[in-house]
Structure 1
Amino acid sequence: MLRRVLVASACLSLVAGCSLSGGSGSSASGGGDHVVTLVTHDSFVAKQETLDAFKTATGITVKPLASGDAGALTNKLVLTKSNPIGDIAFGVDSTFASRALAEGVFAEYKSPEADKGAQRYQVDGGTRLHAVDVGDVCLNVDVAGLAAKGVPEPKTYDDLVDPKYKDMLVVEDPATSSPGLAFLLGTIGKYGPTGWGEYWTKLKANGVKVVSGWEEAYNQDFSGSAGKGPRPVVVSYASSPSAEIGDDGVPRTKAVLDTCYRQVEYAGVLTGAKNAEDAKKVLDFLLSEQFQADVPEQMYVYPSREGVKLPEAWTKAAPLPASSQALPADQVSANREQWVQQWRALVVG
């Protein structure tokens, strides 16, 4: 996931000793301890003290194994399903869930913690995959940057094809970027399978810039980030404004909530896991109140569990959108490659 830059920042500024990919703090195990390998995307991070508390309570050491972004993770799980590289996996998202389920990657197990909120996002009856977190990909705007150009903040997708926003938008390539793909899917959800191409043709004519990934778009081209780029509108996350609060306590950026596409990240016990019983306990832990309370500040996404208090900055700058676009996982699985190829032909040429 390309929110890794924000995650890395969280590691440096919020939690001493946290790990992005299972460093020495989270992979060592003492004699007699049980070790569960948690296969994850690259942006998984957890407080070491939370992992240590779980180990004290259960005797289980959680060993993260980073395996690329959500797409790369899913591919690796499918390719190794006959000889799984871990016991449990986290990070297969709603874009790729149907493929993982169809390939039999995950074993049957329903956590007793699943009815505390994760059930709102269940797929396949919630017996193999459990929602751990929710993220919304939306347009983000630089409030001061737009004001300096004398244009209002855009409110909808349609606003971005208005000539007053020419050369102001930067997006990520859906072939190489998770938020880029989510934004494309959002436009397909908005305009339908026959109308989205015309919308992107208009965006291209209005000067949309396409870059390979989130880091380049947000930190180099977006004027509301530390990089102070030239473009005041970017595809990012609904949670991103929480990292852009000024010394006066006012967010410098806003998410355009009518342009959000929802991504849900799941965890499940792997079929053929060597430590399946302990893996079930780790899955319960990922859905527990203790772990879920850490999710916002550690991974810059919203917890799936109901009733978890968000950080103060989030309540001020990053409320969970009331409604977001979300295409059925099987529809995405069946059409994703075709849509991306069509997009490339229209926008990149």
Structure 2
Amino acid sequence: MRRSVLGRTVLGRWARVGGLVATVALAAGCSLVGGGDSGQGGERKVVLVTHNSFNPPKELLEDFQKRTGVKLEVRASGDGGALTNQLVLTKANPLGDVAFGVDSTFASRALEEGVFQPYRGPEADKGPQRYAPQGNQDRLTAVDVGDVCLNVDTGWFQQRGVAEPRTLDDLTQPQYKDLLVAEDPATSSPGLAFLLATVAKYGENGYADYWKRLRDNGLKVTSGWEEAYNQDFTAGSGKGQRPVVVSYASSPAFTIGDDGKPRTKALLDTCYRQVEYAGVLAGAKNVDDARKVVDFLVSPEFQAKVAESMYVYPAREGVALPASWQQAAPLPERSAELPADEVRAGRERWVEQWRKTVRG
């Protein structure tokens, strides 16, 4: 979840498009090759495969290297959906040793494909384990929680004297025609989460009709979060025309103006719980140090920086949120969720039905 500052700016976490791989070497002289536990010259190195929104403070990563003697090299590729696809396609010859950013909407696919090997670290029971995927508690460790919700540009509605929508059903009403932009669930992690929110609310027999009503009411669909938020949303960084967007519950914390008030609001009755995981890749060359990275991602030090640098909520219990989040981005109390086995069984069918309904 990362960018200029949305804010997570906004080019970041939720830049969930892509396919191109950007490689960031966090230690000078690192290469992408190397066998066993060592790189060239015998140095220890771990390759972390992640999404474009992974943006913790540099000093935090440097401290990890000093404490462990492990050089951490980061490969970033698209969003959670693009990351999962790459991990599956390269599972026979993995891109690295450890991965972070596969989320709960795509986790079942990665697990079915055998992308991760077993590892449950000593920090898992400090909160992350409560979010563990059913039946695979020893393969993925929860690092953060980022509820996907409809966000509205409050100023846009105030200036026009139009009541803000509050529920999913509101967006199908005539007064909200041509106001919503959402991401494609086939290519976007938040887009898929929003689709699952509609399945959770309207059921197997009703979600497609809901999307038909959205389509008929002027819904616009983009390939990913960055395009939707930065280009189409009126409160984004561009000159968008749509004051309602599928984003995150934490997004409003990054739109606080000089008056101390956020310019946007998350509609907490529309949220779907999204969890991001870390895990050791099957076929990893440096398993021992990859496990250290998983432990590091759920350590108190890293978790304390999750909100302000990655724009999500920490998975570890007892971690304080920034003051601005208390005001503008409280963690939703009743986000929708679907059981992992239900998502696994229905995901492809729901996406295909969505495509037929919305795309034609």
Asked if Structure 1 and Structure 2 have the same fold, meaning a TM-score greater than 0.5 normalized by the shorter chain, the answer is yes
Deviation readout 1:263-286 (Å, 9 max, x if unpaired): 111111112222111111111111
CA 1:317–1:163: 2 relative to 1, 3 Å: same
Alignment partner of 1:114 out of 124, 139, 153: 124
How many equivalent pairs are there? 341
Q: Secondary structure at the match of 1:63?
A: strand
Alignment partner of 1:271 out of 282, 289, 293: 282
State the match for 1:280 in structure 2: 291
Deviation readout 1:26-61 (Å, 9 max, x if unpaired): 464595531011111222122111111111111111
The one-letter code of the counterpart of 1:9 is T
Moved more, 135-144 or 70-79: 70-79
Deviation at 1:205, TM superposition (A): 2.0
State the match for 1:47 in structure 2: 57
CA 1:4–1:328: 2 relative to 1, 3 Å: farther
Deviation at 1:103, TM superposition (A): 2.1
Alignment partner of 1:232 out of 243, 250, 253: 243
State the match for 1:33 in structure 2: 43
Alignment partner of 1:74 out of 84, 89, 94: 84
CA 1:241–1:62: 2 relative to 1, 3 Å: same
CA 1:131–1:185: 2 relative to 1, 3 Å: same
Deviation at 1:343, TM superposition (A): 1.3
In structure 2, C-alpha distance between the alignment counterparts of 1:249 and 1:308, rounded to whole Å: 24
The one-letter code of the counterpart of 2:186 is A
Deviation readout 1:190-210 (Å, 9 max, x if unpaired): 100100111111112222222
Alignment partner of 1:257 out of 262, 268, 272: 268
Moved more, 272-281 or 187-196: 272-281
In structure 2, C-alpha distance between the alignment counterparts of 1:205 and 1:49, rounded to whole Å: 50
Moved more, 84-93 or 108-117: 84-93
Deviation at 1:85, TM superposition (A): 2.3
Deviation at 1:66, TM superposition (A): 1.8
State the match for 1:144 in structure 2: 155
State the match for 1:15 in structure 2: none
Q: Which runs of 5+ in 2 are unaligned?
A: 13-20, 31-39
State the match for 2:314 in structure 1: 303
Deviation at 1:225, TM superposition (A): 2.4
Preserved contact between residue 120 and residue 137 of structure 2 (Cα < 8 Å): yes
In structure 1, C-alpha distance between the alignment counterparts of 2:272 and 2:8, rounded to whole Å: 24
In structure 2, C-alpha distance between the alignment counterparts of 1:26 and 1:259, rounded to whole Å: 42
Percent of pairs identical after alignment?
63
Moved more, 24-33 or 105-114: 24-33
Preserved contact between residue 116 and residue 280 of structure 2 (Cα < 8 Å): yes
Alignment root-mean-square deviation, CA: 2.2
Q: Which runs of 5+ in 1 are unaligned?
A: 13-19
Q: Secondary structure at the match of 2:105?
A: coil
Deviation at 1:91, TM superposition (A): 1.1
The one-letter code of the counterpart of 1:203 is L
Preserved contact between residue 10 and residue 230 of structure 2 (Cα < 8 Å): no
> Stretches of 4+ moved more than 6 A in 1?
none
The one-letter code of the counterpart of 2:220 is K
CA 1:171–1:284: 2 relative to 1, 3 Å: same
In structure 1, C-alpha distance between the alignment counterparts of 2:231 and 2:90, rounded to whole Å: 37
Preserved contact between residue 134 and residue 302 of structure 1 (Cα < 8 Å): yes
State the match for 2:109 in structure 1: 99
Deviation at 1:213, TM superposition (A): 2.2
Q: Secondary structure at the match of 2:352?
A: helix
TM-score, normalised to structure 1, is 0.91
Q: Secondary structure at the match of 1:9?
A: coil
Preserved contact between residue 191 and residue 224 of structure 2 (Cα < 8 Å): yes
In structure 2, C-alpha distance between the alignment counterparts of 1:162 and 1:69, rounded to whole Å: 32
Q: Secondary structure at the match of 1:23?
A: strand
More helix by percentage: 1
The 5 Å alignment of 1:1-349 reads 4=3, 6=6, 9=9, 23-26=24-27, 28=29, 32-123=42-133, 124-349=135-360
